[in-house]
Amino acid sequence: MTRKQQRSFGHIETWVFDLDNTLYPHHVNLWQQVDVRIRDFVAQYLKVSKDEAFKIQKDYYRRYGTTMRGMMTEHGLNADDFLDYVHQIDHSPLEPNPAMGAAIETLPGRKLILTNGSRAHAGKVLERLGIDSHFEDVFDIVAANLEPKPARQTYLRFLKLHGVDPSKAAMFEDLARNLVTPHDLGMTTVLVVPDGTKNVVREDWELEGRDAAYVDHITDDLTRFLAAIRASN
């Protein structure tokens, strides 16, 4: 599934990838494990029921970009405690993806990760997928000064730190709202969506935005999409 828009890839020098539900299939539902641990953390921290914690968690996630940011803003949460707890998950559902590794390797230029997760979590994901050697660096939530995407200052901080020219960069994301600012800054944007053949655990709003003007391309098969980019350039 792809969609041709005005912005293409022939001029791209830097390839920027989100991590969760982007570099591995949505149906793995790895993030669901984190989701459960976030709910449990909120319940313990605020001393509320898990049902109430779930409501708070999702409200903060949507309003602040991450539940953690909402907890920091509303309740003075210590981010280190949160990050340590919620990323203690089983990464074994992830399987090596040599085809994706080969497709990423052949892309001309630099490859970077921009994630709202932690560096430790990203490292485990990339290692399980067998693609860690293809990325120059991981820009995580700590590097973002705990300001998650889609905050504009996070993208600006990322671009400055790594010396990225947004007009010569592409951004791959599973959440359309996280492509608004990259597109505004001049990046070519790609929305990675579920393939539609397997069950995924996502909220309805997380799957919106496919027809938005700030989405240049859509794919439900990232490996094939990347291979096609290289073949056409």
In a domain? residue 108: yes
In a domain? residue 2: no
The count of C-alpha atoms lying within 13 angstroms of the C-alpha of 120, restricted to the half-sphere facing its C-beta, is 8
Q: Left (φ > 0), alpha (ψ -120 to 50) or beta: where does 65 sit?
A: left
CA separation, residue 225 to residues 99, 100, 228 (Å): 12, 10, 5
Select from 59, 86, 113 the last residue of a domain. Answer: 86
Q: Which residues constitute the domain of residue 50?
A: 31-86
CA–CA distance, 65 with 147 (Å, rounded to integer):
8
User: Which 8-state DSSP code applies to residue 164?
Assistant: -
Kindly state whether residues 69 and 153 are assigned to the same domain.
Answer: no
In a domain? residue 8: no
Select from 86, 104, 130 the last residue of a domain. Answer: 86
Per-residue pLDDT of the chain (233 residues; tens, 9 = 90+): 555 457 889 999 999 999 999 999 888 878 889 899 999 999 999 999 999 999 999 999 889 988 999 999 999 999 999 998 999 999 999 999 999 999 999 999 999 999 999 999 999 999 999 999 999 999 999 999 999 999 999 999 999 999 999 999 999 999 999 999 999 999 999 999 987 665 655 666 666 788 899 999 999 999 999 999 987 76
Kindly state whether residues 54 and 149 are assigned to the same domain.
Answer: no
Kindly state whether residues 171 and 62 are assigned to the same domain.
Answer: no
CA separation, residue 127 to residues 25, 92, 130, 149, 205 (Å): 16, 11, 5, 23, 30
* Tens of pLDDT, residues 89-128: 999 999 999 999 999 999 999 999 999 999 999 999 999 9
Q: What are 29's two structure tokens?
A: 């539902």
Could you give the angle at the alpha carbon of 162 between the alpha carbons of 159 and 151, nearest 5°?
30
Q: How many residues does the chain have?
A: 233
In a domain? residue 5: no
Q: What are 118's two structure tokens?
A: 């932690």
Kindly state whether residues 101 and 176 are assigned to the same domain.
Answer: yes
The count of C-alpha atoms lying within 13 angstroms of the C-alpha of 23, restricted to the half-sphere facing its C-beta, is 33
CATH number reported for the structural domain that contains residue 215 in this entry: 3.40.50.1000
**Residue 125 burial (CB count, 10 A):** 22
CA separation, residue 205 to residues 38, 57, 209, 228 (Å): 19, 15, 8, 29
Domain count, the chain: 2
